[in-house]
Structure 1
């Protein structure tokens, strides 16, 4: 055991990890871990890398700041036994702080995916406390219960309240819209902001696990029952390979895998009188529907009877309350009695709770107008959220005119059939799964097929419309539209591949053949390749369309660096283009072949093909997006010849043209190209600025290829600028992203030689141990975290804190525990609040007492108060 291992063991233990867990993570025996924890100081280590005293101080400062970002200069001085100038130490600390990401970046700036409830959370406090306790001792908890019992609402509330207990935050992954078990891991990658972190030889699951392996995070997997086997396989790997991750599953059945704690969610209590959770929920929802409603002696018995009759099911209670606009509480109770009695006679195969929920949904349905019923049934075809325009396009016809859709939609929202989401500027709607299933079940098989076809047609038009507007001011809005409808697109393509008859297969194929840049719109590279490959197997698709699909597939494979596959694919595409006289696709295939040749290092062939493609585009009035793409690729080739003057001219022309038409995607690539030229001609400062500008312009797009390329340029330029650790972090992140969707730098030896030069330069600037740590830190970042690191401002710190601050030595977790001890909470209560085991909390309390030089926990409050007063 060396000093670095000793420090890592203590960090893991301070974070609450068990001895068994530390041993498994670090690949050592438990006795070694115990021995390390028994040592108050690190053992002498003669194997450390050699370097100057200054380098060693920087390394130790970095370790201290990573462990405790808020530590004072005075405490760092004591920890280092610093005997030199205090001003010099302050400069060193501030310089190291500037190189580290903001401590709040990972958990606060990355979207959690948590739905934003439109109503208040009622009751379930005992359940929340129990979940806190369970997560102290278990890494996997499945909340199991029937539809409508409140599993999702409880999980959202739990994730919201537990966020502080997980340094890397929480992520909510909705599986209801995923119909294909093979896309579960991709849905997880999407939620983790890994965007397209996968490749033809590395699965989305592997990419997600690599990202999560050293994270302390809570994942919520919602609505798993329809993909239960795939979810069980994914969670099983998480349990084995990501020791710091905890998973909360909601499902109608448990996963049945080792380590799972099954939490059976009961209905809301109805037998606690006026204070029962069920009656509280009824009162809150009734007040929202009927202004001035108050639970009093005159209606309490009727409300209790309603809640008992509905078995305390939250969804049933909420739906029943919408009827109070036209019924009194007594009338509502009487009608429910009659309806439930009738349903019970005809539905003996259902459980009482299922009958209660079914009866309530059925009643809500019957009280809708004929147009509202029809709209309910039809919007059930959406696998994901939707907006008004989508409803009009997909659901309206002669039977449901567009003129009545808005009023019917508003009525369904008022009846709690639809839930409204949005930021005030863009409103979308969604359905709870129980309600969606009910509406879908009201359609005949023929009607379901018709609605699936209409959704497919809408999604196909969306993809084609995005492709047609890929060059111009509407580009970003079109890309965002595709990204927010990933669930609907997946469901539509899946239905077309499942049943391609009557033109459905052709509609999907035409869209995929047109969507050349779908991989830059939030559809992952791997997923895009998957759909393209499957579309080639569709029957009755015209040859010309298959040729275009092959052309797009060849581009995706080329960007992945899979040149052998790309060569075969492009050959097939070229044969079809010639045979069908598809001049534009022929030019596109020639263009992509030139790009492939360039990445393979055959610059002469690349130039011939790119020149031929230019003639093909020009002679046939090629679209602006293909001309701009070709210009970017020609500029890259020219920069490699090297003919930097010609490259600057080509990139500069795209830069000016895109700026004129307010286009940003190609503009960011042109900015990157100008930065590349600046680097190659020795203008390092300009290269850094242009790489930064390119990334800023590109940030709004879910395009991993461009993001990675631009990060590489930034890292190279920072290396020449002596950017040290900052450059290493950026290149580590870029390396991970390349490896996640394809070959490093497209598998190009020429490009990789530039990268190797930058890495060698950085190794000369940074000691090996620090280099490895910084590289690993970058490699672990998601795309969103990388952007936060590049553009974020490190948290401000006071360099002149008092040297006698006794709490400065506490880690953030220890300070949190100390505050709770000071407020009078027991170890068990602290464990529940922070979602830790009681034993872990006991260890933190011991560390707090030791660091504050105290003997009893009762003295903690006084010590903290004395510091605050001072």
Structure 2
């Protein structure tokens, strides 16, 4: 939502302005652009101030777009208008900058760390209602991130030392004397703006001798305020400029008899919104009021479901939305075939003031129920071809879901619904990387229950909280959540809940290194999920079982597990579990020495991530491709891939070590082999210098053509000497070094040396891996 007129922008993705421009024409403002950009060059914090509707946002967008080439890491837009009054702004900034929420640090800590070495311009729009949070954010960021500059818009300054304040003036207006002159009126910015916007509703609108005086007076009466002119231009669809001026003139004469303490331009805008409101019929006014329940954008279905009740028939909402758009009260934003709507911030505030308390409460209930239903539909239909659609919608509806959660948590009697919503958003927390935020809301709802409460809702919140905390690396908290979940499941005799306690206890043991216990728990969980008909839970437990099996030294068993998971995923046409199962399959093939097969399945997993964008799976799969390159002695490619993976891990705020000691050992061993295999001058090089790669760029690097392993890559056809092969076979039989020495009639010290060289040559870290390699050689 915007507080400024003259702007109808469509910002997609992470709201980066590098590739998105305002949809409407930017008119005039040459002097303001020069002065504001000069202020930005002098100060690391520049605030564009002025009343609502003066055009702060539109000017800020233009400044940001024209400054792109001056910032190595780009220019970024963060709309704070959808935040509740007094809310912290760091989560919104983290979301706009695409900083995944993988760790258990606060959003502010993650943003500060991310920005520390960046050179970028951050545009924070609509700060006035979240000033304390904006001030705290700026105080933390600017001292620690010397390459960052911040541009803000606010109806009042932040009042921070070093802040450069630029008061955005209205558009230039002509005087009465200009009526008789021969000069082109469109040299005045307000007139040019009026003509531009009028042509959106009347294609051939022009200034004529008949309407010249009315145009001059109209722009003067509107004080050159872009939002006021935007509203007025929308009326030209049904009346002439002269008719419009006559009606406005009456409105302003009435207004002038009121208070003299308000600024004239505030009174002008108030008059325009009052008049726009009165020109709406009762149904349009009612919808205007009800639409204020949406903190950000919304779609037609949500508008019909939330606002279509009582005196407003749902069947009327679509036509009423169209009328509000045509009157410039509502903005329509298009992305392909999808259309979403949003209110200007000033317009939303105006409509909200006209809602009576009872109606507001009913709206909040309906709004929450709408997004609860959508979240629970995502859960119930998760194991389906709609996964990508669900995740995209959850990202898009984020502001609405958070507003629904906040209202539910803070409203007596709504704890159960709040819990259901926090639980139903679990795939959003995990797949989109909002782990800290998910943990926050789950802890909030769990804090509302008595410790003795045994309800299905509380039980579900406990296992989801465990999942989230385990992914954060908070293993102790994960175990505590599970212990309580097990107590609740036992009290309820709930088989589905018990299945989840075994499932996530398996993940806890996997991440803490107890693979034998993890395998037992996963096998129990898969069977339990299948008994209660939870296909998605079963699939997730299956690929995680394969992960435990492969690191336990059983790649062939793990491969069978993953093949079954992939077949089941194909049956449901789902991609999330399939991608992870492909990654584990790739590790199995790599451990068996089948490098080309490993590369093929890893590439397939990454191809899925081009569209699904799960950062964890992306980082793990690129790591695997680096191991494959190292094992085939393509050390420069391995370095390139490990560098790409490191970029994704940094973006996640974690490392591969969070996923257990076994995978960390393999990663370290591969990195050591790469360093030993590289030329000395290349060992400390960084493939991408200091420039960070985005997740999409890292995927592109990994998917670029690499040498054909079938010809050049499979160099290690027989890496072991005959004696080393004999030792490896005995190791594969489970003999200790001392037993091998007795079998070969050599000293234990000699066997120790052989085993050390075998581990180095095979690029493995354990005797189990040696056994797997030997078994693979025998089969092949």
Say which of 296, 303, 325 aligns to 1:384: 296
**Equivalent in the alignment of 2:129:** 226
**Equivalent in the alignment of 2:168:** 265
Are 1:208 and 2:111 counterparts? yes
Alpha-carbon distance, 1:741 to partner: 4.5
**Equivalent in the alignment of 2:16:** 112
1:349 and 1:299 map into 2 onto residues whose CA distance is 34
**Equivalent in the alignment of 1:839:** none
> 1:133-172 maps to which residues of 2 (within 5 A)?
133-172=38-77
1:484 and 1:633 map into 2 onto residues whose CA distance is 29
Alpha-carbon distance, 1:709 to partner: 2.2
Are 1:279 and 2:191 counterparts? yes
1:221 and 1:330 map into 2 onto residues whose CA distance is 39
| Residues 283 and 294 in structure 1, CA contact (< 8 A), matched pair in contact too | yes
| Residues 593 and 606 in structure 1, CA contact (< 8 A), matched pair in contact too | yes
**Equivalent in the alignment of 1:403:** 315
> 1:805-844 maps to which residues of 2 (within 5 A)?
none
- Secondary structure, counterpart of 1:760 in structure 2: helix
Are 1:241 and 2:152 counterparts? no
**Equivalent in the alignment of 2:581:** 670
**Equivalent in the alignment of 2:759:** none
Greater Cα offset, 355-364 or 647-656:
647-656
Are 1:419 and 2:331 counterparts? yes
What are the ranges of 5 or more consecutive residues in structure 2 without an aligned counterpart?
1-11, 179-184, 707-780
| Residues 418 and 431 in structure 1, CA contact (< 8 A), matched pair in contact too | yes
Q: Does the C-alpha gap of structure 1 residues 253 and 733 become closer, same or farther in structure 2, counting only changes over 3 Å?
A: farther
Q: Does the C-alpha gap of structure 1 residues 385 and 360 become closer, same or farther in structure 2, counting only changes over 3 Å?
A: same
> 1:58-457 maps to which residues of 2 (within 5 A)?
112=16, 116-179=21-84, 184-196=89-101, 198-200=102-104, 202-271=105-174, 273=178, 274=185, 275-457=187-369
- Secondary structure, counterpart of 2:612 in structure 1: coil
> 1:716-727 maps to which residues of 2 (within 5 A)?
716-727=627-638
Provide the TM-score with structure 1 as the length reference: 0.75
Alpha-carbon distance, 1:753 to partner: 0.5
Alpha-carbon distance, 1:757 to partner: 0.7
- Secondary structure, counterpart of 2:236 in structure 1: helix
- Secondary structure, counterpart of 1:257 in structure 2: coil
1:221 and 1:554 map into 2 onto residues whose CA distance is 34
2:282 and 2:680 map into 1 onto residues whose CA distance is 72
- Secondary structure, counterpart of 2:373 in structure 1: helix
Give CA deviations for 1:381-411 in whole Å, capped at 9, x if unaligned. Answer: 1111111111111111131112111110100
2:690 and 2:490 map into 1 onto residues whose CA distance is 46
**Equivalent in the alignment of 2:665:** 753
2:655 and 2:622 map into 1 onto residues whose CA distance is 16
| Residues 155 and 220 in structure 1, CA contact (< 8 A), matched pair in contact too | yes
- Secondary structure, counterpart of 1:427 in structure 2: strand
Alpha-carbon distance, 1:523 to partner: 5.6
Q: Does the C-alpha gap of structure 1 residues 420 and 260 become closer, same or farther in structure 2, counting only changes over 3 Å?
A: same
2:448 and 2:688 map into 1 onto residues whose CA distance is 43
Give CA deviations for 1:554-590 in whole Å, capped at 9, x if unaligned. Answer: 1111222211111111001110111122210111111
Alpha-carbon distance, 1:767 to partner: 6.0
| Residues 191 and 215 in structure 2, CA contact (< 8 A), matched pair in contact too | yes
Give CA deviations for 1:516-559 in whole Å, capped at 9, x if unaligned. Answer: 42324436111111111111123598732111100100111122
| Residues 522 and 545 in structure 2, CA contact (< 8 A), matched pair in contact too | yes
Q: Does the C-alpha gap of structure 1 residues 779 and 665 become closer, same or farther in structure 2, counting only changes over 3 Å?
A: farther
Alpha-carbon distance, 1:149 to partner: 0.8
Give CA deviations for 1:165-218 in whole Å, capped at 9, x if unaligned. Answer: 32322111111122376652222222222333x411x33333333333333222
Provide the TM-score with structure 2 as the length reference: 0.83
Asked which structure has the greater RCO (Cα within 8 Å, sep 6+), the reply is 1
| Residues 589 and 597 in structure 2, CA contact (< 8 A), matched pair in contact too | yes
| Residues 561 and 743 in structure 1, CA contact (< 8 A), matched pair in contact too | no
1:304 and 1:567 map into 2 onto residues whose CA distance is 72
| Residues 56 and 153 in structure 2, CA contact (< 8 A), matched pair in contact too | yes
- Secondary structure, counterpart of 1:262 in structure 2: strand
> 1:780-795 maps to which residues of 2 (within 5 A)?
780-791=692-703
- Secondary structure, counterpart of 1:346 in structure 2: coil
Give CA deviations for 1:739-762 in whole Å, capped at 9, x if unaligned. Answer: 645564325211110111111112
1:164 and 1:666 map into 2 onto residues whose CA distance is 40
Say which of 512, 537, 541 aligns to 1:600: 512
| Residues 635 and 650 in structure 1, CA contact (< 8 A), matched pair in contact too | yes
Say which of 607, 632, 652 aligns to 2:563: 652
Alpha-carbon distance, 1:723 to partner: 4.3
**Equivalent in the alignment of 1:797:** none
Q: Does the C-alpha gap of structure 1 residues 195 and 139 become closer, same or farther in structure 2, counting only changes over 3 Å?
A: same
| Residues 731 and 775 in structure 1, CA contact (< 8 A), matched pair in contact too | no
Alpha-carbon distance, 1:429 to partner: 1.2
What are the ranges of 5 or more consecutive residues in structure 1 without an aligned counterpart?
1-107, 795-870
Alpha-carbon distance, 1:768 to partner: 7.3
Greater Cα offset, 528-537 or 715-724:
715-724
Are 1:574 and 2:479 counterparts? no
Alpha-carbon distance, 1:720 to partner: 2.4
| Residues 53 and 227 in structure 2, CA contact (< 8 A), matched pair in contact too | yes
Give CA deviations for 1:600-654 in whole Å, capped at 9, x if unaligned. Answer: 1112221222222233223333x11011011101111111121111111111112
**Equivalent in the alignment of 1:690:** 601
Alpha-carbon distance, 1:599 to partner: 1.6
Alpha-carbon distance, 1:230 to partner: 1.2
Q: Does the C-alpha gap of structure 1 residues 291 and 690 become closer, same or farther in structure 2, counting only changes over 3 Å?
A: same
| Residues 648 and 693 in structure 2, CA contact (< 8 A), matched pair in contact too | no
1:539 and 1:634 map into 2 onto residues whose CA distance is 33
Greater Cα offset, 719-728 or 299-308:
719-728
Q: Does the C-alpha gap of structure 1 residues 686 and 792 become closer, same or farther in structure 2, counting only changes over 3 Å?
A: closer
| Residues 419 and 457 in structure 2, CA contact (< 8 A), matched pair in contact too | yes
Q: Does the C-alpha gap of structure 1 residues 707 and 428 become closer, same or farther in structure 2, counting only changes over 3 Å?
A: same
Q: Does the C-alpha gap of structure 1 residues 110 and 289 become closer, same or farther in structure 2, counting only changes over 3 Å?
A: closer
1:216 and 1:593 map into 2 onto residues whose CA distance is 43
1:515 and 1:291 map into 2 onto residues whose CA distance is 46
Alpha-carbon distance, 1:153 to partner: 1.0
2:644 and 2:520 map into 1 onto residues whose CA distance is 35
Q: Does the C-alpha gap of structure 1 residues 575 and 119 become closer, same or farther in structure 2, counting only changes over 3 Å?
A: same
Say which of 534, 547, 551 aligns to 2:444: 534
1:352 and 1:792 map into 2 onto residues whose CA distance is 61
Give CA deviations for 1:275-307 in whole Å, capped at 9, x if unaligned. Answer: 211111112222222332211332222212111
| Residues 664 and 698 in structure 1, CA contact (< 8 A), matched pair in contact too | no
1:347 and 1:286 map into 2 onto residues whose CA distance is 32
> 1:456-855 maps to which residues of 2 (within 5 A)?
456-499=368-411, 501-502=412-413, 504-522=414-432, 524-538=434-448, 543-621=455-533, 623-735=534-646, 737-738=648-649, 740-742=652-654, 744-746=656-658, 748-766=660-678, 770-774=682-686, 777=689, 780-791=692-703
Give CA deviations for 1:43-96 in whole Å, capped at 9, x if unaligned. Answer: xxxxxxxxxxxxxxxxxxxxxxxxxxxxxxxxxxxxxxxxxxxxxxxxxxxxxx
Alpha-carbon distance, 1:370 to partner: 1.4
| Residues 454 and 492 in structure 2, CA contact (< 8 A), matched pair in contact too | no
Q: Does the C-alpha gap of structure 1 residues 387 and 228 become closer, same or farther in structure 2, counting only changes over 3 Å?
A: same
Alpha-carbon distance, 1:458 to partner: 1.3
